[in-house]
Amino acid sequence: MNLFVLGTGHAFAEDIYNTCFCLQNGNDFMLVDAGGGREILKQLDLSLIDLNMINYAFISHTHTDHLLGFAWVIRKIVQSYISKERTLSFTIYGNAECINAIHHLSLSILGEKIFNTYFEKFIKLEEVKADERKNIMNLNFNFFDVLDPDLTQFGFEIEEYKFVFAGDIPLNKCYYDRFKNCRYICLEAFCAESDKEGKEAQLKKHKTVHEASVAANKLNAENVIIWHTENCEFRKVKYSLEAKKSYKGNIIIPDDLELIYIEKFDENE
């Protein structure tokens, strides 16, 4: 499975795009969150992903930096249906709040007539519940509520890859048993421990790289992907060195537009 990193920044990070990515399994593509703006189209272009190849999407929660890119994605997809460049359906999964937000956003930007022509028939909005298991792209997704105190936010696990996406808040301790020994854990970190001074407000909700690494180590995860961070000089090296102190697995600090190959979990290993 390929993971195309489209963005790695937090909501207000400058010069890097908001954290979002695209998964590819065979001929299937799933966009996971869309960042906060039109730059999503550029990031897809630069990743050599044709939007018309993407058949699925997942939205974790309705914050600006995850939701608003969908306005551009949907606008462009509808344009491709109109010009008959696209025939592939597009299914967006998300919790009830997310589905409701995408519905209203799409209706506002497209108008009722176009919305009614293309939604349901070509663009499908599919609500998922916490702890629901769904087969998408021939993979088993288990959705879970990350227990965000501010709104409903979901993450997911892909069973075949033991790949866990935990959204943009720290992984709640109640999930440590469930995701113990996972192969990949995607965690957020706002900044390096050494840069945390003056960032107390953001760190009420977010963690440092050090704290994320301690969590990954407790999980005994084979690989940790750390993103949703601020942009700083030498970020990759700086965060890797910090993570190495408390985490014994493989550290992945991606930059925007990186491609990560996700290895399949083999039970006979």
In what helix (H) or strand (E) does residue 258 lie, and over which residues does it extend? none
| Closest CB to Zn ion: residue number | 168
# residues near Zn ion by CB under 5 A: 2
Binding test (CB under 5 A) with Zn ion, winner from 65, 157, 211, 242: 65
The least CB distance from residue 186 to Zn ion, in Å, is 13
**101: which 2 tokens?**
């937000």
148 lines the binding site for Zn ion (CB under 5 A): no
Of 40-48, 79-87, 122-130, 160-168, which part binds Zn ion (CB under 5 A)? 160-168
With tokens 């990759």, the residue in question is: 236
Tell me if residue 59 falls in helix, strand or coil. Answer: strand
Residue 117 · residue 61 · CB < 8 Å: no
The least CB distance from residue 10 to Zn ion, in Å, is 6
Nearer to Zn ion, 65 or 256 (CB): 65
Nearer to Zn ion, 68 or 110 (CB): 68
Rounded CA gap, 174 and 90, in Å?
33
Interaction residues for Zn ion, span 168-187 (CB under 5 A): 168
With tokens 């916490």, the residue in question is: 130
The least CB distance from residue 133 to Zn ion, in Å, is 25
Residues present in the chain in total: 269
The least CB distance from residue 231 to Zn ion, in Å, is 14
Nearer to Zn ion, 148 or 168 (CB): 168
The least CB distance from residue 65 to Zn ion, in Å, is 4
Question: Would you list the DSSP string of 79-108?
Answer: HHHHTTS--S-EEEEE-HHHHHHHHHHHHH
With tokens 């909700």, the residue in question is: 205
For residue 83, give Cα distances in angstroms to 78, 92, 120: 9, 21, 19
Of 87-95, 112-120, 166-174, 196-204, which part binds Zn ion (CB under 5 A)? 166-174
Nearer to Zn ion, 65 or 157 (CB): 65
- Binding region for Zn ion (CB under 5 A): 65, 168
